Amino acid sequence: MKGRSIDKLSAAGGGMAQRARRAAERELDRVDPCGINGFESVEQDDESGQALHWRLVELRDTRAMNREGSIMHHCIYSYKDRCAIGDVAEFSLQVGTDRATPSPVLTIALDHSQRLVTQYRGKCNMRRNETRFPPKKREFGKD
């Protein structure tokens, strides 16, 4: 843009992001539970020897959806209206250890009326076993 420095544009963009974040923090619309209970499970990690605490949690308010979207870098918050009218239920699959609090690894959308998983996404909207950047191919014997 003519006449605008990078610093001024950055400041203007940062201000909009801060205002949107504050608005999302103030707004707290609750969603009725879909009737499917979450779960918790503990398993031993063979590599580290630590206990992994898995849990499935229904996201029942806009603050939880906003937090999930911020951590996972996807747009779950845009589904808040569909959740509010009962079309969709959103769940967070989380894992933690004895020393670390659970953090999301997968977000799951469920069609409420059909009790059918319609979509699941990992960080940055990745699907299961998908990687954004495939590993580099290496030729053995050439270092």
Tens-digit pLDDT profile for residues 45-99: 888 888 999 999 999 988 899 999 999 988 888 888 888 888 999 999 999 988 8
Going by the DSSP 8-state scheme, the letter that residue 74 receives in this structure is: S
- Please determine, for residue 23, whether its predicted confidence score (pLDDT) is greater than 60: no
pLDDT range class, residue 124, cuts 50, 70, 90: confident
Say if residue 15 is exposed, middle or buried (CB neighbours under 10 Å; 0-12, 13-18, 19+): exposed
- 129 vs 34: CA distance, rounded Å: 28
Going by the DSSP 8-state scheme, the letter that residue 20 receives in this structure is: H
- Please determine, for residue 133, whether its predicted confidence score (pLDDT) is greater than 50: yes
- Please determine, for residue 134, whether its predicted confidence score (pLDDT) is greater than 80: no
Tell me the domain boundaries of the chain: 6-125
pLDDT range class, residue 143, cuts 50, 70, 90: very low
Task: Say which amino acid occupies 7.
Answer: D
